[in-house]
Amino acid sequence: MQGTMLYAPGDVRVEQREEPRIVESTDAIIRLSASCVCGSDLWPYRGIEQLNGPSPMGHEYVGIVEEVGADVRTVKPGQFVVGSFFASDNTCEICRAGYQSSCVRRQPIGANGAQAQYLRVPLADGTLVATPELPSADLIPGLLAASDVLGTGWFAAVAAEVGPGKTVAVVGDGAVGLLGVLAARQLGAERVIVMSRHADRRKLAIEYGATDIVTERGDEGVARIMDLTDGLGAHSTIEAVGTQESMLQAIHSTRPGGHLGYVGVTHDVALPGLDLFFSHVHLHGGPAPVRRFLPELIDLILTRQIDPGKVFDLTLPLEQAADGYQAMDERRAIKVLLQP
């Protein structure tokens, strides 16, 4: 089969890889309907994250079940499934508390590489959710978004305790930030302030329900948020970048007693204790337990109440994955869908 490999920073290749097979009796093999490039894939692509030799890429996926192991009970061949980027048993105490991405048996999907034609999904029963029937083609991008970026933006909004009447600040206008806007509005936020410098992203932010746009960054951005919130700061802040600057911007944009949900994979971040201490914010985040939200999100998409698929503004055949990485790296695309 064809699959994407990252050989070195900037060096993405689609090449012939061995087709995956059932290894454990709890595995499923799925034929991918779509995959995509994640903002977090750009970290090793840009050389910021260490690469240990050539690595299969991709951890976002939807597809048709091809084969299941002997112990798989909840999905069967022929079904359309959406999965999350960590395989989880969905039965351990941590999963039952809603933290499937910290499941005691979790396995990263990325290690198997979802930017490919086929994918082995461990712990299929606890990881995959099947749709009631095969979805129409135009819903596939939305369902693919549920696999990570929507689930992640949604978790950030839940972690930030977004709710009716609240003012929400969103730091980061990538796909996760934009879907954080969508999530915030779905969860009842009254006002959603997005920090964005890119016209195309601002447009989508407004489509998803943003009420205010702040183009300034850092301390100036914080000052603007304060202006918009009677000097108090947002009730809830969504952080979807993962840098020192974005984390501090998010902390300082949140009012005392407010909540900050952070989902940007943190790189070279060291949070100064006193900033955090005197901010009085609630801080929660990490790798989104997407599996917790999948049934609800799939339903919202299938009933066309939300359209998270709009974040894909470039679709390429899998063979052109390298172009997709480049387009995202250069910010020519918000998010790239790959068709296997």
> Contact residues for its own copies (CB under 8 A)?
93-94, 97-99, 101-102, 104, 230-232, 242, 244, 247, 255-257, 262, 265-274, 276-287
Shorter beta-carbon distance to its own copies: residue 188 or 272: 272
Q: How far is CA 131 from the centre of its chain?
A: 20
Start-to-end CA distance of the chain, whole Å, equals: 10
Q: How far is the CB of 151 from its own copies (least distance, A)?
A: 15
Report which DSSP code applies to 25: T
Shorter beta-carbon distance to its own copies: residue 206 or 276: 276
Q: How far is the CB of 283 from its own copies (least distance, A)?
A: 4
Shorter beta-carbon distance to its own copies: residue 27 or 148: 148
Shorter beta-carbon distance to its own copies: residue 18 or 230: 230
Shorter beta-carbon distance to its own copies: residue 19 or 275: 275
Shorter beta-carbon distance to its own copies: residue 92 or 302: 92
Q: How far apart are CA 118 and CA 48, in angstroms?
A: 28
Q: How far apart are CA 242 and CA 202, in angstroms?
A: 20
Q: How far is the CB of 266 from its own copies (least distance, A)?
A: 3
Q: How far is CA 201 from the centre of its chain?
A: 16
Partnered with residue 62 across adjacent β-strands are 34, 82
Q: How far is the CB of 213 from its own copies (least distance, A)?
A: 24
Q: How far is the CB of 299 from its own copies (least distance, A)?
A: 24
Q: How far apart are CA 45 and CA 73, in angstroms?
A: 38
Cβ count near 19 (within 10 Å): 13
Q: How far is the CB of 233 from its own copies (least distance, A)?
A: 9
Quick check: helix, strand or coil at residue 170? strand
Q: How far apart are CA 124 and CA 176, in angstroms?
A: 25
